[in-house]
Structure 1
């Protein structure tokens, strides 16, 4: 090896497409050819984390947990540390920061990777009084709510981490050199430098790989010896497994040694149950049916770019989630061995789906399994998953309808079976469901301390221009946020979409604000003053996301009392980035406007019908809903929208559809009326109490507003041919909120 200067030995499985070449020389000839202007080279595409970079704790997913059965005491031992951490997070700033992963007993500010956390949490790390800023307090509440729901779906903290799965290379080298293969590891043994230094008590760890479908737990013993320390001296990380017996790799849903990462945990509850409930490896033997006809094994030529792209497209189109999600329903069922057989079949379907790009084979879920799944609801715990939000929102809507009209509608849309994950979910609900944030940061937050010396001149022309620009940017924030109209539990947008929206807004806002005042320090003085002392601004705009999103770094330095002056930024670069962000935001707004349709207004029956609004309508509404009425402004606005809807649809009743895009929904009506969706049910109840409509249920269990009272006496046109997209502007203009001079205590 040293004489021939061999740097790397590839196994047959690592040597991709080796069977396309007649010899190594032929492969080398093709390798050296330039293709599409690219000359092939050998490169390191990925390398493992160093020993010091390995995490000591990880968060479990529900898939591995649902495949094991735990006693009540086992669930308590498994979940109690996570529940205790959550309770501590609700009681103090330090507890919250620790729960969020921002600090531990040994952490120092300079050692924390702050890019992973919002800047306001970094600021609060240095000055706990920032908790008393209502904006930051609201963010913490949102974080704790999300953390609570993650715990409900099995996001349980345990000791462990992800490392690369590696074979016993000593055994491999014995095979390469023609020696008897003995290896250094025996059946169900692993070598792990990490666990050799971190295991306490039991020598067992459980190896888990995703996707986890059919109880692919591999409980193994971590061992070492003098020979292992000698031959594995440079393998500081990685999980090295034996090559004998029912191999771990095969058990882990046919894992490979080409960079696959596996999770290892030493939690005694998981390890004990994984050993007790140990299951055999599921082996898929492919059968050629005699009457199916012979199909040629078509090979894709690597240089055929079109076919390679098509193969990649089909591979990525195969969604493993379509296989994984039904598995939870099967695991939640109590029944015959047939269910377990179906789970094993789904494991094979999952393996084929994942490896489509390798073999070009597709696998469909058998009809018998699909028929069984149709008969059962998803398990209860899944209502807290992102994928379950829409159904949970529907459940909430049905319960709200029941409360409004006492309709006795079946509103439970999830199965509360006694499966493992439902048990874990109920345990966490019992332990932390009623725990609310009770943090008391004794030191009062003084925003004035964020300004180094004299406050800015609020009468200056530049200050007023900055304020006007900030109002414009807050309106953009309002545009992309839309929280006022939407059900927060029912959102289809991914985290990536949200990050791009807000990231673009911050780029755009920063460029626009700095174009008004090039001095960043002076600009930040002005923004802080506006957000914390301008009462009129504070009444309308409570969200400080733009302040922290654009100038978080500068705010953190001020919190740390680092008042170094920041002068003129690189405006050319900033302007270019701002222009790019502005284009994205405007395109996003146009896309929303172009795709905002309400079918009831756009269908063939109603599209051509013109609607006029009259001055007498406004007078009649104000007379029908006097100012002494609770929430009279929102009720008046909603009634005007209902009148428009009845005229447009030529009807005196409206069905409010549950969570359907482009239909008349609560969200659509609230958007048209510019009212808060959280109070919609209360608003229509008030209208019913005033005798302006009746509340019922249609045959599809949708909320039905009947006998809507409409003004019939009119003569003076307010607006003719009103399009529903223009309705909100008319509503806000003609039925205005009462202006008060007070600033609410919860301004943020």
Structure 2
């Protein structure tokens, strides 16, 4: 989208201009400060801001539909004298009620580019057309054009499977039906195609990678999905014995000339074009190119974190919970001392290597790798302690370390090739079989598999791996993906997964594997909106229908239902009713996910989660999931405040009435009628659910582990001069920097107050903070353009006074601090690596320190 705007405005060189200005700013930073340099620095920062500010592109958050209708009236609206008109809402943007508007004078030109010469008379679901156009707003990097592109029909496989079908298309409430050996038609190539090894290597080189990736997530006009590296030319020789295939339009194509194969599920509006040549000509005319949004990694990680959705349906006793939390708890306890080596392992992970230095921002962690003395810096210690407290709270909500990794899923490319060449469909993997180079190399043949968002236990899948010579040969380029077979309901189990870059977490954790019940997949029947030739009113209505994040809302209600479930015996009628509601949650969640694509979406019945909407029958009231579970207080500061206030006030009242605490009252063997009533009301009015669900019990165990721990404060004095160079600075400019620092602190207080009052999402908070920081860094450089002098001034100013914040120092001069540290440490960095004979024990493993010489890096 920004590339389109630049072409229309004739500013094609924006990226080059940005790079040129940044380079000139860096050059000035090394020069002596004088009046001319200060003026030049200010002018360059202004030019940089103007280039970065794209006033043709506006995001508007819609608070109500009347506002939205007013914005879309024929008069349009203006900001700073510029008129704007609605362009589209992305699928993700619609969830936060955010719509993209563009300058009215370039709107029609952008619309033409977005439609890319498609047949305008084709009937489409309006919401789907909006989502397909919005693909132009994906962050992507252009790559060179393939020699020839082949579009093929998707590969459909048919088999029988035991499933649980959920359908509410004809009824008020979802109807659940268990079906045995149900005929299933599955699009096994949904969202993925193939790329030749030669083109894969070429694209990787263009993107700066020195390996052949397993695959790329690509974009083009109306095109989205993964292409996996697979030698289909060899398949033509050795298996098919034929080079000619038919494309989706029925045209014969010599596959020898093809280096990219995309499926019709990837090219969403393929039928709106007469041929691949027609499509590519339109792409060239309107300025589209093949672009990459994601590249599979060269290696997979060895350790990742669970979340509460993956845990909440597991049936774990207290001992098993203890086993599950142990690695996380131990890793946090290990870093409580003053050992900088363990601090690095905690901060960077146990697979730390030299790339963690070069790819890190210029912050205190990078500094700690250069100079161990930074462990005594009060700022650094405070940062580490803050992170430790954060990790403790995360552990309480199920963010737990496990051996495993996230990987992108693929269908069996061998089956897709059989389909392309018109051969009988067999694939290399049979029903229930999977392939993973990573797990095969680790000699693991069975793992637990999760995909978020998750609702019920039916969404957990156990994968059993195969590793034949034939698989190793044909999948030889697919080293960091998980390959699914073409003959079972795994994608259904994974909450309707497809292969357009969906990822799964796989782990061989024995506690988790022991708690999994392998249940039938849930298949949700969805009803799609009617197709039509969409006009602007249809697209605006599609936006309205998509506003609001029903996904998060539905997911949270299901989590509350697991808490209610924990109050009942497994075979009771109440237990069965709650299981019905939880399973229906998957249906409501899938509809919420696909709502922006035109799926008709009924909302979860209100009386399942709202006490005011429930019937007055006592047993029905008890099943209403109207409270968040206890462990959520560590995920929601407001909820924690409400809970803490309630408990404190009730405890005081209990002491006044009965002369004992609430806990002591609970421990009494015999209670008076008044005491029984007090405890009943205490539980009834509790703002969170304290039911014995697996996540609440896990939370309490983690609390018990950390309650007695204290973070040690360093008693060693810190010599702040190690952060500085020996160069003297101007006292006059020092006073100017002091005034800037005072202004910074005043604005920071105001900034933080406003931030607490406003409901701002995490991503927006981060963006606002970066703008806040960059503004003061620019102002500091306009006072003193020489980075070495500037660094010495603010280190002296802030570190000589224990009360002054050190964040300002690292925000403004973090890069210069790193340069100073490197210079005084001969450009050598230190980091721990795994070693059986190492002398560092951390998280049950041993490590030793290694070092590396690095060059000074300037932008």
Q: Into which bin does the TM-score normalised by the smaller protein fall?
A: 0.5 to 0.7
5+ residue gaps, structure 2, are 1-242, 245-253, 569-574, 615-620, 658-680, 827-859
Match of 1:212 among 412, 429, 454: 454
- For the aligned residue pairs, the C-alpha RMSD in angstroms reads 3.2
Judged with a 3 Å threshold, the aligned counterparts in structure 2 of structure 1 residues 119 and 28 are, in CA distance, closer, same or farther, namely same
Within 5 A, what are the aligned runs for 1:225-374? 225-245=468-488, 247-274=489-516, 277-285=517-525, 297-301=530-534, 304=535, 307-308=538-539, 311=542, 314-315=545-546, 317-333=548-564, 334=566, 335=568, 336-370=575-609, 371=614, 374=624
Match of 1:102 among 340, 348, 353: 348
Distance in 2, Cα, partners of 1:148 & 1:70: 21
Matched residue, 2:792:
525
Matched residue, 2:258:
6
Distance in 1, Cα, partners of 2:825 & 2:526: 70
Distance in 2, Cα, partners of 1:281 & 1:270: 19
Matched residue, 1:553:
815
Displacement of 1:361 after TM fit? 1.7
Matched residue, 1:498:
765
Displacement of 1:300 after TM fit? 4.9
How many pairs were matched up?
A: 528
Whether contact under 8 Å (1:557, 1:563) holds in the other structure is no
Judged with a 3 Å threshold, the aligned counterparts in structure 2 of structure 1 residues 510 and 477 are, in CA distance, closer, same or farther, namely same
Q: Kindly indicate which of the two structures has a greater share of residues assigned to strand.
A: 2
Q: Secondary structure at the match of 2:447?
A: strand
Whether contact under 8 Å (1:89, 1:96) holds in the other structure is yes
Distance in 2, Cα, partners of 1:176 & 1:258: 19
Displacement of 1:100 after TM fit? 3.5
Displacement of 1:560 after TM fit? 3.0
Judged with a 3 Å threshold, the aligned counterparts in structure 2 of structure 1 residues 524 and 178 are, in CA distance, closer, same or farther, namely closer
Whether contact under 8 Å (1:90, 1:439) holds in the other structure is no
1:544 correspondence with 2:806: yes
Distance in 1, Cα, partners of 2:338 & 2:329: 15
Whether contact under 8 Å (2:451, 2:504) holds in the other structure is yes
1:25 correspondence with 2:256: no
1:431 correspondence with 2:705: yes
Quick one: higher RCO (CA 8 Å, sep 6+), 1 or 2?
A: 2
1:121 correspondence with 2:398: no
Judged with a 3 Å threshold, the aligned counterparts in structure 2 of structure 1 residues 450 and 252 are, in CA distance, closer, same or farther, namely closer
Q: Secondary structure at the match of 2:523?
A: coil
Displacement of 1:226 after TM fit? 1.0
Distance in 1, Cα, partners of 2:603 & 2:551: 11
Displacement of 1:543 after TM fit? 1.4
Distance in 2, Cα, partners of 1:563 & 1:70: 51
Within 5 A, what are the aligned runs for 1:125-274? 125-200=369-444, 203-215=445-457, 216-245=459-488, 247-274=489-516
Judged with a 3 Å threshold, the aligned counterparts in structure 2 of structure 1 residues 72 and 149 are, in CA distance, closer, same or farther, namely same
Whether contact under 8 Å (1:131, 1:441) holds in the other structure is no
Distance in 2, Cα, partners of 1:300 & 1:231: 44
Distance in 2, Cα, partners of 1:339 & 1:66: 14
Judged with a 3 Å threshold, the aligned counterparts in structure 2 of structure 1 residues 522 and 179 are, in CA distance, closer, same or farther, namely closer
Matched residue, 1:419:
693
> Which digits, 9 at most, give the CA deviation of each residue in 1:347-381, with x for residues without a partner?
01111111123334223112342346756422111
> Which digits, 9 at most, give the CA deviation of each residue in 1:1-35, with x for residues without a partner?
473523344444334245x55xx636764664479
> Which digits, 9 at most, give the CA deviation of each residue in 1:591-630, with x for residues without a partner?
xxxxxxxxxxxxxxxxxxxxxxxxxxxxxxxxxxxxxxxx
1:74 correspondence with 2:320: yes
Distance in 2, Cα, partners of 1:172 & 1:159: 32
Distance in 2, Cα, partners of 1:562 & 1:103: 27
Displacement of 1:183 after TM fit? 2.0
Whether contact under 8 Å (1:207, 1:264) holds in the other structure is yes
Matched residue, 1:448:
721
Q: Secondary structure at the match of 1:283?
A: strand
Displacement of 1:171 after TM fit? 2.3
Match of 1:49 among 280, 284, 296: 296
Judged with a 3 Å threshold, the aligned counterparts in structure 2 of structure 1 residues 311 and 429 are, in CA distance, closer, same or farther, namely same
Displacement of 1:557 after TM fit? 2.1
Displacement of 1:172 after TM fit? 2.7
> Which digits, 9 at most, give the CA deviation of each residue in 1:216-240, with x for residues without a partner?
0110111110111122122122111
Displacement of 1:94 after TM fit? 3.3
Displacement of 1:505 after TM fit? 2.5
5+ residue gaps, structure 1, are 288-294, 565-748
Matched residue, 1:382:
632
Judged with a 3 Å threshold, the aligned counterparts in structure 2 of structure 1 residues 115 and 179 are, in CA distance, closer, same or farther, namely closer
> Which digits, 9 at most, give the CA deviation of each residue in 1:262-316, with x for residues without a partner?
1211111112222xx12111122458xxxxxxx9823354xx5664465356446
Judged with a 3 Å threshold, the aligned counterparts in structure 2 of structure 1 residues 469 and 284 are, in CA distance, closer, same or farther, namely closer
Displacement of 1:507 after TM fit? 1.6
Distance in 1, Cα, partners of 2:330 & 2:452: 28
Matched residue, 2:646:
398
Bigger-Rg structure (1/2): 1
Distance in 2, Cα, partners of 1:160 & 1:308: 42
> Which digits, 9 at most, give the CA deviation of each residue in 1:455-509, with x for residues without a partner?
657xx433322222222222222322349x97xxx99543333323332232222
Distance in 1, Cα, partners of 2:563 & 2:758: 26
Distance in 2, Cα, partners of 1:137 & 1:523: 24
Q: Secondary structure at the match of 2:737?
A: helix
